[in-house]
Structure 1
Amino acid sequence: MDWDKLRIFHAVADAGSLTHAGDSLHLSQSAVSRQIRALEESLGTTLFHRHARGLILTEQGELLFDATSSMAKRLDTAEARIRDSEEEVFGVLKVTATTGFGSLWLAPRLTKLYDRFPDLTIDLMLEERVLDLPMREADVAIRMKEPSQADLIRKRLMNIRMRLYASEEYLAQRGVPEQLEDMRHHRLICQNPNAAQVAAGAAMVQRLTSYEIPSLLFVNNYFGVLQGVLNHIGIGVLPDYLTDDFPHLVPVLADVHSAEVPVFLAYPEELRQSKRIAAFRDFVTEEIMAYRKRQMDEAVPA
């Protein structure tokens, strides 16, 4: 098959329109249409259903689009590796992380990374869904469990736990609970146990809500839970890495916590030589080491 025709087909299938594809390819609509007709003739099949509102792929067109999508992702990977020079770090790095970790721990630290590599562009995707790294939905991921996808390089960064925290103002008004049963006199802020989250966090919330707490605030991510705690609404279930950046959070019921949750950094084996990946990996590792050192220093009695 003609590579140029496949490129044009992919653009049309992606845009769903000859006009929009032509605009992105800097070709006229008639030129794009001719190339699509020629490709259909060479394959002996129809690739698109033509409708007044646009183009819809036929079953054969879907098969070809799956193939060209895989090709496009592989070409993106090759381009990324080619563009990584031996000494410079630049271009786009697609990073995925959970909403909580990405917004509360990673994003506030990115200033340091940009200071070091001003030509780097970070595309930060915060969601609980696990993106497909081998298919290049993202270049590097930070997840709260070990990734199960094949052909990934994995690095364990640290372990965290979910714990209970409140503001000083809230505790001054409502009192400090001394045992789990005392939570019946407080408002709990947490994620719904059925919401997408780490299993350890969901198990902790289920345990807490079994004490018939009369008032709850459910938020679907830890950023929202933190805002509720900082605004004195109640006692929140939060990851303990937050204490480094929010020292005014007051731990409550220190013996009540989730099981350990591992934090992993992962990226595709084929990006092992990427300078962007290496720069990001080393940066995150340095920040984790600094965080661990501060935690150890705070744990040592004066």
Structure 2
Amino acid sequence: MDWDKLRIFHAVADAGSLTHAGDALHLSQSAVSRQVRALEESLNTTLFHRHARGLILTEQGELLFDATSSMIKRIDAATARIRDSEEEVFGNLRVTTTYGFGALWLAPRLTKLYEKYPDLNIDLMLEERVLDLPMREADVAIRMKEPSQADLIRKRLMTIRMRLYASPDYLAIHGEPHEMADIAKHRLICQSPSAAQVSAGAQLVQELFTHDVSSTLTVNNYFGVLQAVISNLGIGVLPDYIIEDFPTIVRVLPDVESVEVPVFLAYPEELRQSKRIAAFRDFVQEEIIAHRRTLKALGTE
């Protein structure tokens, strides 16, 4: 089967338009249309339903689009490996992690990585959904539990705990709790029970709710929880890694914390030799070592 025709078909299916696909491929609309029609004739089937608003894949078109998507992902992986045979670290690196860790810990530290590798382009994908690394939805992941997918290289980076924090101004006005039951006198800020989060955090919140908390603010990510704490709204349930970058907030009820949450870095086995992956992995490990030193100096580790 002619790869050029498949490549053009994939571009049309992805764009939903002959014109947009032609623009992306630097081909005229008529040239794109001819190639798609020739592919349909060779397969003796219709790949698109055509209407005034664009093109929609037929059932047969969906099957072929799934196949071309897999082919392109494999070609992208091979291209990445070929480029990584060079000594320089450059190109695109897709990194996925949770919203809280990515926004509060990783993103603020990326300046150092870009200073060392200015030609590296990072696509930072922050979401709680676990992306499929073997299917190349991302190149490398940092997750709050050990990945279960096969054919991954895994490295345990550190452990974190969920703890309680408040601003000095809030505590000056409302007083500091001295035991768990005192939580009932304060506004509790935490992730929404329905939001995706580490089970350790959810369990700690459930335990706190048993103390008849009268006022709450729930947010669907830890960045929002942190902003509410800084704004003196109450006592927040937050991961302990935030304390390094926000040393003015105060830990309350120091005996109250979640169980340990392991943090893992993972990437596909086929990217074992990738210099971009190695550069990112080494950068994260160096930052974690520095992070631990800071926490030790602050006496919070």
**Are positions 1:25 and 2:31 aligned together?**
no
Matches within 5 A, 1:59-78: 59-78=59-78
In structure 2, the partner of 1:282 is 282
C-alpha distance in structure 2 between counterparts of 1:60 and 1:69, whole Å: 14
Contact 1:194 1:202 in 2 (8 A): no
Q: Which residue of 2 aligns with 1:236?
A: 236
Which residues in structure 2 correspond to 1:58-137 (within 5 Å)? 58-137=58-137
For residue 175 of structure 1, what is the aligned residue in structure 2?
175
Query: Hey, what's the Cα distance between the residues in 2 that align with 1:245 and 1:55?
Result: 50
Q: Which runs of 5+ in 2 are unaligned?
A: none
- 1:185-224 matches, within 5 Å, as 185-224=185-224
Report the residue type matching 1:199 in the other structure.
Answer: S
Q: C-alpha distance in 1, partners of 2:47/2:71? A: 18
SS at match of 1:135: coil
1:294: Cα distance to partner? 2.8
Task: Please state how far the C-alpha of 1:299 moved relative to its aligned partner.
Answer: 3.8
Q: Equivalents in 1 of 2:114, 2:31: separation in Å?
A: 43
Equivalent residue letter for 2:237: V
Which whole-Å deviations, capped at 9, do the CAs of 1:108-140 have from their partners, x for residues lacking one?
Answer: 100111111111111111111111111111111
The structural deviation recorded for 1:56 is 0.8
The equivalent of 2:142 in structure 1 is 142
RMSD: 1.2
Amino acid across the alignment from 2:78: A
Query: 8 Å contact 1:193–1:203 — kept in the other structure?
Result: no
CA distance in 2 between counterparts of 1:297 and 1:234 reads: 27
Give the secondary-structure state (helix, strand or coil) at the position aligned to 1:182: helix
SS of match in other structure, 2:12: helix
> Normalization by structure 2: what TM-score?
0.97
> How far did 1:199 drift?
0.6
C-alpha distance in 2 between matches for 1:68 and 1:196 = 32
User: Quick check: 59-68 or 28-37, which moved more?
Assistant: 28-37
Structure-1 separation of matches of 2:242 and 2:39:
56
For 1:226 and 1:53, how far apart are their aligned partners in 2?
45
Q: Please report how far the alpha carbon of residue 296 of structure 1 lies from its aligned counterpart in structure 2 after TM superposition.
A: 3.2
Give a deviation string over 1:26-59, Cα, whole Å, max 9, x none.
1111111111111111111111111111111111
Moved more, 74-83 or 100-109: 74-83
Q: Which runs of 5+ in 1 are unaligned?
A: none
CA positional deviation for 1:297: 4.0
Report which stretch shifted further, 237-246 or 288-297.
Answer: 288-297
SS at structure 2 position matched to 1:154: strand
Find the residue that maps to 2:118 and give its secondary structure.
coil
Task: Return the letter of the residue paired with 1:11.
Answer: A
- 1:151 corresponds to: 151
The amino acid across from 1:105 in the alignment is W
Cα offset for 1:165?
Answer: 0.5
Residue 210 of structure 1 deviates from its aligned partner by: 1.6
Residue aligned with 1:87, SS: coil
Aligned ranges 1:252-271 → 2 under 5 Å: 252-271=252-271
Q: CA deviation at 1:148?
A: 1.1
TM-score (norm 1): 0.97
Counterpart amino acid of 2:132? D
How many Å separate the matches in 2 of 1:8 and 1:294?
Answer: 53
- Paired letter, 2:262: P
1:33 and 1:118 map into 2 onto residues whose CA distance is 40
Partners of 2:86 and 2:79 in 1: how far apart? 15
Amino acid at match of 2:24: S
Question: Residue by residue, what CA displacement relative to the aligned partner does 1:155-193 show, whole Å, maximum 9, x if unpaired?
Answer: 100000000001111111101100011011100100112
Question: What is the CA–CA distance in structure 1 between the aligned matches of 2:189 and 2:27, rounded to whole Å?
Answer: 55
SS of match in other structure, 1:237: strand
Match of 2:160 in 1: 160
Q: Secondary structure at the match of 2:202?
A: helix
Q: Percent identity?
A: 77
CA distance in 1, matches of 2:108, 2:294: 17
Shift in Å, 1:295? 2.7
Q: Distance in 1 between matches of 2:235 and 2:226?
A: 10
